[in-house]
Amino acid sequence: MNPFSPIRKVYQGIADRRQMFRLFDRHAQRPNRDHVDAGSLYLGEWFGVGRAEHDYMLEILPPLWMRGEMFALREFLTDSITSVFYTLRIDGGTRYYHAYCDLNVARSPAEMRDAIVERESWPVKAMTREERLEHIWSATHDDYRGYAGDRWLPEHRGKRTVLCYGGRQGTTLKLLDELTDDEIAAKLPVHLRHLPIQAAA
């Protein structure tokens, strides 16, 4: 449905509790929700949370396991994919993260941890084009995002769409992956619009 890289940051900044719960199921509107395994959609997604959100999730249920700087929830999203929360020291500070990992893959939580540390240790604050699109998708209200349906060409059906303001043309529904640089900038919060674009690793 959506071609994702294996591990990807899906929200810039620190998600508060309301945003965290929205991000837990950011593909809730996907077509055939009850008939298609969503594991590939969620696997590898991660974002930052606050300490209060991290601690809340630790206390809400006994974790499935705790290992050093991470713990896994005992409620699974799919057969083997669940939430893993991290407490990581990066650039001299303590930060908190949530990620979806496949516990059938022995090193999945550790590989996720390493990827988060690498990404958050970039010397220059920047975003890739993919991160910009993922942030737009994560931050857009459900009423203004969705999936291409039967009115779209067959090759576009099931792809993510967002509503864009087109000036005199009014609002139009566009494929998320086909937004122009100007449309992306208009949809990002002001503090993210002018960050340099980092090439994906």
- In a domain? residue 2: no
Answer with the one of 120, 138, 159 that is the final residue of a domain.
120
User: Do 79 and 133 lie in a common domain?
Assistant: no
- In a domain? residue 3: no
Q: Are 57 and 83 a contacting pair, CB within 8 Å?
A: yes
The amino acid occupying position 92 is G
User: Do 91 and 20 lie in a common domain?
Assistant: yes
Strands ordered across the beta sheet of 160-165: 145-147, 160-165, 171-175
Answer with the one of 120, 149, 173 that is the final residue of a domain.
120
User: CA 55, CA 109: separation in Å to the nearest integer?
Assistant: 19
User: CA 73, CA 79: separation in Å to the nearest integer?
Assistant: 13
User: Do 111 and 185 lie in a common domain?
Assistant: no
> What is the β-pairing status of strands 8-15 and 45-49?
parallel
User: Do 67 and 93 lie in a common domain?
Assistant: yes
38 contacts: CB under 8 Å, gap ≥ 6: 27, 30, 77, 78
User: Do 153 and 71 lie in a common domain?
Assistant: no
Tens digit of pLDDT for each residue in 108-119? 999 999 999 999
Top pLDDT among 46 and 33 is at 46
Tens digit of pLDDT for each residue in 27-41? 878 777 665 667 778
State the total domains in the chain.
Answer: 2
Q: Is the pLDDT of residue 192 over 90?
A: no
Of 144, 110, 126, 112, the C-alpha closest to 47 is 112
Tens digit of pLDDT for each residue in 142-185? 889 989 888 888 999 888 999 887 767 778 889 999 998 888 88
- In a domain? residue 198: no
The whole domain housing 22 covers 8-120
- In a domain? residue 201: no
